[in-house]
Amino acid sequence: MTAYDKLQESIRDNGIQIVNFCFVDLPGMWQHFSVTTEEIHDGLFKEGIGFDGSSIRGFQAIHESDMVLLPDADTAFLDPFLKIPTLNVICDVREPGLGHYTRSPRNIAEKAEAYLQSTGIADTAYFGPELEFFILDDIRFDQNEHCGYYYVDSAEGAWNSGREENPNLGFKPRYKEGYFPMPPHDTMQDLRSEMVLNCVKSGVQVEVHHHEVGTAGQGEIDLRYAPLVHMADNVMKYKYIVKNTARSNGKVATFMPKPIFMDNASGMHTHQSLFKGGTNLFYDKNGYALLSETAKYYIGGLLKHARTLMAFCAPTTNSYKRLVPGYEAPVNLAYSQRNRSAAVRIPMYQSSPKAKRVEFRPPDPSANIYLALSALLMAGLDGIENKIDPGDPVDQNMYELPEKVQNSIKTVPGSLAESIDALESDHSFLTKGDVFTPDVIETWIDYKRTNEIDQVNMRPHPWEFYLYFDV
């Protein structure tokens, strides 16, 4: 039975009335439109369905706006939230007459997998990103000509320990003490469990969920590792499910990296490994932290290109409110076993050869997952192809090293502007195999500078009034 036949069977068996075609824009948000099941036919999955690419961020100009979505029947899943029975299908983007669209993030991820196989180094790259998020009760924000503010609130917030709640039952997790407490401190247990069950029903395998370090409902749900494109598809499902499960319970979930001042932010620590013929190329029983030489070269590529990688892995101005020392933020470009102050950590939970992997810690969940994972793979492969030595590991707490030693360790960029500058000057490793084409790099740089960096820089910040109003 083909994937299309299975989709039709699912439509019949589940009383599906609407099919939802989903695709991701360049910044990383899911877009969609829907058709009735009467419009579903085999030709649609071979020829695609048209849409206006000029209305999608980072896509086409108005004079070249005709684009085509080609549904991938293998990705179909039942929507857990909509009242009308709906089947969601993830699509590839095509340019009429030209085939694959260069600025389609999913296409870039598919090309990254193809490039890996073309090198002969490995046949599969496995990824396991850990996306953290906050569950809030209220969010308000505005910025106009005469005012600018944001307001977030959560019944779990430590700042509400003295609020009249008629009654206030206490047990608000203290700042930076939200990691692993049992209920009643953890009031989000059932909600996260509901998110997990919705993920499982949607075909997304989940390993574990728990409260995270931050107060105010910070959580984490870890997905089972998977190959690059499959994992990126799962992450898009996961974010959709987390947001909508929260909303259906009268709450709001955000993957914004740093919504809470003076507490831990949300990261996306990303585990990765390369396999060939079922063998993990990162394992060596005699190596440091059980790492092979191939794994060390992969790490060398990650560290060499880390400043560029941040343009895709920490791609918002808010990302750099997280990447500061003191909040478990992995700003130091070094590697180490077990050490969470290093940008690259080697987990030591298990000694199984299949479990050996490297964890790149600077990314955050605001990333376009297709672009971030593709960039990480291309950097690692560049390290292997050019035998880039990552140097010696640093197994001490890097925040407590002598100042002279600390100053000798390179760090991630301090702002999105620095990351975009790094991408502009160092991106040839991304363009191998036409994975990231020049128009993608140019469009990303222009979009980030024009629509985000410049827009944030030109607006007064509330703290500037505290600092400068009385000058």
Q: Which of 305, 345, 361, 427 is catalytic?
A: 361
Q: For residues 235 and 108, give the distance between their C-alpha atoms in angstroms, rounded to a whole number.
A: 16
Place of tokens 């206030």: 168
| Rounded-to-10 torsion of CA 332, 225, 422, 380 | 90
Q: Which of 340, 395, 421, 426 is catalytic?
A: 340
* Residue 243: HSE in the Cβ half-sphere, 13 Å Cα cutoff: 11
Q: For residues 391 and 342, give the distance between their C-alpha atoms in angstroms, rounded to a whole number.
A: 13
- What DSSP letter does each residue of 192-258 carry, written as one string? HHHHHHHHHHTT--EEEEEE-SSTTTEEEEEEPPEEHHHHHHHHHHHHHHHHHHHHHTT-EEE--S-
Q: Which of 359, 364, 382, 452 is catalytic?
A: 359
Q: For residues 133 and 254, give the distance between their C-alpha atoms in angstroms, rounded to a whole number.
A: 6
* Residue 440: HSE in the Cβ half-sphere, 13 Å Cα cutoff: 26
Cβ partners under 8 Å of residue 343, min gap 6: 302, 303, 306, 330, 331, 332, 333, 334, 335, 360, 361, 362, 412
Q: Which of 9, 42, 47, 52 is catalytic?
A: 52
Q: Is 145 a catalytic residue?
A: no
Q: Is 439 a catalytic residue?
A: no
* Centroid of chain to Cα 40: 32
Cα angle 36, 39, 44 (rounded to 5 degrees) comes to 125
Q: Which of 72, 110, 132, 452 is catalytic?
A: 132
Collapsed DSSP state (helix, strand, coil) of residue 301: helix
The amino acid that residue 383 corresponds to is G
Which of 154, 241, 230, 231 has its CA nearest to residue 193?
241
Q: Are 385 and 119 in contact (CB under 8 A)?
A: yes
Q: Is 220 a catalytic residue?
A: yes
Q: Which tokens is 413 given?
A: 């960029």
Place of tokens 């490297």: 358
Omega of the bond prior to 330 within 30 degrees of 0, cis? Answer: no
Query: How many residues does this entry show for the chain?
Result: 471
Q: Is 269 a catalytic residue?
A: yes
Q: Which of 212, 222, 233, 382 is catalytic?
A: 212
Q: Kindly state the greatest CA–CA separation across the chain.
A: 74
Q: For residues 191 and 200, give the distance between their C-alpha atoms in angstroms, rounded to a whole number.
A: 14
Q: Which of 94, 192, 211, 269 is catalytic?
A: 269
Q: Which of 113, 156, 220, 382 is catalytic?
A: 220
Q: Which of 130, 186, 233, 364 is catalytic?
A: 130
Q: Is 94 a catalytic residue?
A: no
User: Which residues are known catalytic residues?
Assistant: 52, 130, 132, 212, 220, 269, 340, 359, 361
